[in-house]
């Protein structure tokens, strides 16, 4: 039963479900539903899709995640960054507004879901580790800026757009003369109201002696209020006839189910974008899930999360949706509202389904500027220049990867941006580890400890070279170790013994093994013994399967002190 529960985590919490938990989940679902309705519409617009697709992507995927996901409070659905990546990917294969565009979005969700599920089944969650935190942070910051800039033409009421910042700026510059003043007033007004609601409304309500939890709920419902007011204004004043762009008629009803039509060429084109969306969505989702789980001393299973997110995306692809993942702001609201289990997501899905059935006729007069303002306020919270300064102060190499991600994302698009960050991070890792820190060590007087001769006052022997390499040995740094030991041997004619201290060596690959054999041969020819100390168990297990230990002209010692004591030599103060 435990193995079955591993793949169907809902069996673990469903057994203890009671009335108290039900009431908590229902309350959280009401709050998240109110928040999710305008977000779903806005993010669908960001992806270049009809507004109702955002609602569709917030129904069945939530149910699928509740069955297969392990986080008790993660709220799955459309998010800004994935919506931007979706628009970038399918914009290359179909024209916005066509049936083919929606079919490509559904196929992208199916491909992403399939990849995530397969990665989860084979426990490949570690692949996300190739996205370093500075790269992810830089990408999200750049994506937030790109999304906000891309919504400005809706605020201004002009034509425009583009996938990169230069194109967006150029497009806006060419249309400034045709700004619609009514649209501008609506856009700026909603922006100001949402910013006020986010920063000041809760404290203002608190001064009116409104309970903190109710005040928080009212503040979070501000987008719904903005939607209601602007819909009423647009309908009452017939703003559509005055050039204000409206959402237009939204089909009433639940999504159609089925597999979208596709070709092998379309699948091939979307494979790489689907993989990037999968990895970015997974990293964002797991980061949020782990943070919230830790607050309640719970845990999530990253590999099962892959399956849960994969099921959610497959469900999205089969129900006229597009790629989804766990959203940060939405999940925090779900957590703060008291959600206890993923059943809150199921109740949220029911709420969204009811909205799709009964509320869509009232949204036809919704100004697009309102949705644009909702997006801008939401994504600007993702922009974190403080993280950029922090990384710059701590690590120039990590900052280089972060800066490259930001620049390429803004200048050349989201896909190239994330690829550039990953590639540069790997190259910088290879460069750093190709020249690992190597220390000549000596004995700390009166102890059995050995430390760097350049940092401590230690005892050394002229006929013993004790050298510590602070990195695993592999193809990129094996030649560096050869050259370092050869240089020291050439400089010290009195040298009789070399001890390679392996306390920081966690692995030795085939290239490094050949280098150790070559070092042993060279030192043997020079009449110098080659010894190893403090070799870790797993590394020793691998070495025992090779010929190195048979040909080694020295010995292997349990500790550096044992090696230095056994080999003797005249000790002097450095």
Joined tokens for residue 443: 């004995």
Report the pLDDT value the prediction gives residue 475, as an integer from 0 to 100. 93
**In this structure, CATH architecture of domain 438-573:** 2-Layer Sandwich (3.30)
The b-or-e profile of 535-573 (16+ CB within 10 A means b, else e) is beeebeeebeeeebeeebebbbbeebbebbeebeeeeee
Find out whether 221 and 374 touch, Cβ atoms under 8 Å: no
User: In 56-110, which ranges are E strands?
Assistant: 76-77
**What is the CB neighbour count within 10 angstroms for residue 171?**
17
Helices (H) and strands (E) in the chain, counts: 27, 10
Cα 414 to Cα 298: distance, rounded to the nearest angstrom: 34
Cα 467 to Cα 452: distance, rounded to the nearest angstrom: 9
Q: What is the 3-state secondary structure (H, E, C) of 304-357?
A: HHHHHHHHHHHHHHHCCCCCCEECHHHHHHHHHCCCCCCHHHHHHHHHHHHHHH
Cα 443 to Cα 460: distance, rounded to the nearest angstrom: 7
Q: Digits of tens for pLDDT over the chain (574 positions)?
A: 456 667 788 888 888 899 989 998 998 899 899 888 999 999 999 999 999 999 999 999 999 999 999 999 999 999 999 999 999 999 999 999 899 999 999 999 999 999 999 999 999 877 766 778 888 889 889 988 998 999 999 999 998 777 899 999 999 998 888 999 999 999 999 999 999 988 888 888 888 888 877 787 788 788 889 999 999 999 999 999 999 999 988 999 999 999 998 899 999 999 999 999 999 999 889 888 888 888 888 888 889 999 999 999 999 999 999 999 998 878 888 888 788 999 999 999 999 999 999 999 999 999 999 999 998 988 888 888 999 999 999 998 899 989 999 999 999 988 888 888 888 888 888 888 899 999 999 999 999 999 999 999 999 999 999 999 999 999 999 999 999 999 999 999 999 999 999 999 999 999 999 999 999 999 999 999 999 999 999 999 999 999 999 999 999 999 999 999 999 744 444 4
Joined tokens for residue 175: 């249309």
CA dihedral 334, 340, 341, 347 (to 10 degrees): -60
Would you call 447 exposed, middle or buried from its count of C-beta atoms within 10 A (0-12, 13-18, 19+)? exposed
* Predicted structure pTM score: 0.83
CA dihedral 31, 34, 38, 39 (to 10 degrees): 20
Q: Where are the domains of the chain?
A: 2-426, 438-573
The b-or-e profile of 87-125 (16+ CB within 10 A means b, else e) is bbbbbebbeeeeebbbbbbbbbbbbbbbbbbebbeeeeb
CA distances from 77 to 85, 215, 270, 281, 316 (A): 15, 25, 21, 11, 9
Find out whether 313 and 2 touch, Cβ atoms under 8 Å: no
Dmax over Cα atoms in the chain, in whole Å?
97
Residues 541-567: tens digit of each pLDDT: 999 999 999 999 999 999 999 999 999
């Amino acid at each position: 039963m435990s193995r079955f529960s591993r793949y169907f985590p809902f069996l673990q919490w469903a057994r203890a479900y009671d009335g108290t938990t039900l009431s908590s989940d229902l309350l959280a679902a009401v709050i998240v539903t109110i928040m999710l309705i305008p977000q779903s519409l806005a993010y669908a617009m960001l992806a270049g899709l009809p507004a109702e697709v955002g609602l569709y992507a917030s129904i069945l995927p939530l149910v699928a995640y509740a069955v297969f996901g392990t986080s008790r409070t993660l709220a799955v659905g459309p998010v800004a960054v994935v919506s931007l990546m979706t628009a970038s990917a399918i914009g290359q294969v179909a024209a916005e507004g066509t049936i083919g565009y929606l079919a490509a979005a559904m196929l992208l969700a199916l491909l992403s879901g399939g990849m995530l599920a397969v990665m989860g089944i084979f426990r490949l969650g570690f692949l996300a580790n190739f996205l370093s935190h500075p790269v992810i942070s830089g990408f999200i910051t750049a994506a937030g800026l790109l999304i906000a800039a891309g919504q400005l033409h809706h605020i201004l009421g002009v034509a425009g757009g583009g996938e990169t910042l230069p194109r967006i700026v150029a497009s806006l510059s060419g249309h400034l003369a045709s700004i619609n003043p009514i649209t501008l007033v609506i856009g700026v007004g909603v922006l100001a109201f949402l910013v006020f609601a986010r920063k000041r409304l809760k404290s203002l309500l608190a001064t009116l002696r409104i309970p903190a939890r109710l005040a928080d709920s009212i503040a979070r419902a501000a987008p719904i209020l903005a939607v209601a007011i602007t819909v009423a204004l647009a309908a009452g004043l017939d703003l559509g006839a005055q050039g204000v762009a409206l959402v237009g008629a939204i089909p009433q009803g639940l999504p159609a189910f089925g597999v979208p039509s596709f070709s092998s060429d379309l699948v091939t084109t979307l494979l790489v974008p689907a993989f990037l969306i999968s990895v970015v969505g997974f990293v964002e989702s797991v980061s949020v899930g782990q943070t919230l789980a830790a607050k309640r001393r719970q845990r999530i299973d990253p590999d099962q999360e892959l399956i849960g997110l994969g099921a959610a995306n497959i469900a999205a692809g089969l129900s006229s949706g597009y790629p989804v993942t766990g959203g940060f702001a939405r999940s925090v609201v779900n957590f703060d509202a008291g959600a206890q289990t993923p059943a809150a997501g199921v109740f949220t899905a029911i709420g969204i389904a009811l909205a799709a059935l009964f509320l869509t006729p009232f949204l036809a007069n919704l100004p697009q500027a309102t949705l644009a303002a909702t997006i801008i306020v939401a994504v600007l919270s993702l922009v974190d220049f403080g993280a950029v300064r922090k990384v710059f102060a701590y690590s120039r190499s990590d900052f280089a990867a972060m800066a490259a991600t930001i620049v390429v994302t803004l200048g050349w698009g989201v896909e190239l941006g994330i690829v550039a960050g990953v590639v540069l991070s790997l190259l910088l890792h290879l460069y750093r580890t190709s020249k690992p820190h190597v220390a000549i060590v000596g004995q700390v007087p009166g102890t059995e400890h050995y430390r760097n001769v350049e940092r401590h006052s230690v005892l050394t022997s002229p006929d013993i070279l004790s050298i510590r390499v602070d990195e695993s040995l592999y193809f990129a740094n094996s030649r560096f170790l050869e050259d370092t030991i050869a240089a020291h041997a050439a400089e010290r004619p009195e040298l009789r013994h070399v001890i390679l201290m392996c306390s920081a060596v966690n692995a030795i690959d085939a290239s490094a093994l050949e280098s150790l054999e070559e070092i042993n041969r060279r030192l043997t020819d020079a009449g110098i013994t080659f010894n190893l100390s403090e070799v870790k168990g797993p590394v020793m297990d691998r070495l025992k399967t090779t010929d190195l230990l048979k040909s080694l002209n020295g010995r292997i010692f349990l500790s550096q002190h044992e090696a230095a004591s056994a080999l003797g030599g005249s000790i002097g103060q450095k």
